Amino acid sequence: MDDVIWMSAHELLEAYRGKSLSPVEVTNAVLERIDEVNPKINAVVTETADLAMEQAKASEAAYQKGEPRTLEGVPVTIKDLIMTRGIRTTWGSKLYEDYIPEQDAVLVERLNGAGTVMLGKTNVPEFGLVAVTDNLVFGPALNPWDPAKSTGGSSGGAAGAVAAGFGPLAVGNDGGGSIRIPSSLCGTFGIKPHFGRIPSYPHILHGWDTMNAEGPITRTVADAALMMNVMAGPDERDRHSLPASGIDFLSGLGEGIKGMRCAYTSDLAVACVDPEVVEITRKAALALEELGCEVVEDDPGILDMSGDLTILVIAETAAAHWETLAEDQEKMYPLFAPFISLVDSFSAVDFVNVQNHREDIWEKLWRFMAKYDLMLTPTTSCAAFDLKEGGMLGPDEVAGEPVTPASWIGFTYPFNFTGQPAASVPCGFTASGLPVGLQVVGRRFDEPTVLRAAAAIEKAHPWADSHPAL
């Protein structure tokens, strides 16, 4: 059963249908894996073993009746920023340490309806505000490839869980890179779908409603596409949710990328990038020419919006807690306090200019993307970095240059401002054995081309069999 923990959702479904494995056997194996390994990485913060076994038995009965659903019996973890009815959902905050929602998020409803087996909730930074997974409730998530290093965030527990063999599927969300960053640092595949593709509802607090996208983190591209088939589609409760598209995200994955035209850039207004990351991602991008894709080194010339992201994070967080801000700050992650206090230094003009700058970068990007099917970049400016005692908001420096909590993730958040689909694809390892991700960015509403390119990269240079030595 040791091999079972590394099986993809597609492999599990085939084994279930062929009766060579049962959902109960698989769930037992994965729960044992969590019990053995999770103490080393702190990815799962609320385990739901009893519920998982109950759901696995129901799935087993569904196969016996010949009535399996789309994801019947496949284990999944849910990020602790996403509501789960009757299951503790803390947002990584002492303010909600014992909160138990009375309703499921829309995507959880859909996964439950498709027959998944819920293993538990995964670790996050408080309210998902930074790209390092640490909080006062559970402590930091540790990277499976090197537990002295960060998983990134905010879906750090989700990516760490998938990388460590805690089931093939995880759900994250992404307001500035929170699916793609930890996927890059943990060696998993993660896609931020187009804004609104997967409904986002409900929320405990206001904020991020024009930036956030829900999406999958998996070990294979096909598994992510399968999850999107289940989770995507409109819901009246989310006024931003897109109309039904009729897209089958699995369709076309095997068509390859011959004839496509892609742009690679290691710039994108990012202040500094580790040269090793540039080397690995450029090599991976140029290797697409072997698959019949034209790759051009080109950059859209967008402005640096790290300051805009900082203003948005601080202003929306402060507004969400405004009536009890002083009291709430006393219970928040200590490193947040001095930043949230900066809200008084912002003007209405500053906040409006964030929206103006969104228009400015879109003016550059739509013109740029008209020339290319896809844009390729490093996902992050560095590989996984050392955790610091006492907490941290990100690396202190990259390539010897000082960075801010927003500047080192400058490859990801522009596409939260524009809403475009973007994925992180594992593309290699540093000399010290840490994963590196290549970001694949699509045109508006065009997840199929992003997934198709990711699948072509995966087929040419498979990554799913690379496992951390935990």
How do residues 172-217 score in pLDDT, each as one tens digit? 999 999 999 999 999 999 999 999 999 999 998 888 889 999 999 9
Whether the per-residue pLDDT at 271 is higher than 90: the answer is no
Question: Rounded to the nearest 5°, which phi and psi values hold at 125?
Answer: -75, 160
**Percent of the chain at pLDDT above 90?**
97
The per-residue pLDDT for range 124-161, each reduced to its tens digit, is 999 999 999 999 999 999 999 999 999 999 999 999 99
Bridge partners of residue 437, in order along the sequence: 426
Contact by Cβ (8 Å): 247, 448? yes
Q: Considering only CA atoms, which of 76, 71, 75 is closest in space to residue 14?
A: 71
Residue at 16: amino acid letter: Y
In this prediction, residue 37 carries a pLDDT of 98
Per-residue model confidence as pLDDT tens digits over 49-98: 999 999 999 999 999 999 999 999 999 999 999 999 999 999 999 999 99
Residue whose entry in the numeric block shows the structure tokens 């990020």: 79
- Location of structure tokens 């607090």: 205
The residue-averaged pLDDT of 6-32 equals: 98
Residue whose entry in the numeric block shows the structure tokens 């496509």 = 260
| pTM for the full predicted model | 0.98
Q: Identify the pLDDT of residue 207.
A: 86
pLDDT interval class at 1 (50, 70, 90): confident
Please list the active-site residues. Answer: 79, 154, 178
Residue 343 has pLDDT above 90, yes or no: yes
Q: How many angstroms separate the CA atoms of 148 and 50, rounded?
A: 31
Which of 113, 93, 95, 115 minimizes the C-alpha distance to 104?
A: 113
DSSP for 57-112?
A: HHHHHHHHHT---TTTT-EEEEETTS-BTTB---TT-GGGTT---SS--HHHHHHH
| Whole-number percent of the chain with pLDDT over 70 | 100
What's the pLDDT score for residue 2? 81
- Computed on alpha carbons and rounded to an integer, the radius of gyration of the chain in Å comes to 21
Q: Which residues contact 64 (CB under 8 A, 6 or more apart)?
A: none
Name, in order, each residue with C-beta under 8 angstroms of 323's C-beta and a sequence gap of 6 or more: none
The pLDDT of residue 208: 85
Beta-bridged to residue 122, according to DSSP, are 44, 79
Domains of the chain as residue ranges with CATH: 2-460 (3.90.1300.10)
- For residue 180 the two structure tokens come to 């793609």
| End-to-end Cα, the chain, rounded Å | 17
pLDDT value at residue 70: 98
Q: Helix crossing, 221-231 with 9-17: angle to 10°?
A: 80
pLDDT band (50, 70, 90) for residue 421? very high
Higher pLDDT: 337 or 136? It is 136
- Residue 387 has φ and ψ, to the nearest 5°, of -75, 150
Report the pLDDT averaged over residues 258-271. 96
Average pLDDT of the residues of the chain = 97
Compute the distance between CA of residue 97 and CA of residue 38 in angstroms, rounded to an integer: 20
- The DSSP output letter for 386 is B
Q: What is the pLDDT of residues 233-258, one digit of tens each?
A: 999 999 999 999 999 999 999 999 99
Alpha helices (H) in 179-274, listed in sequence order: 180-186, 221-231
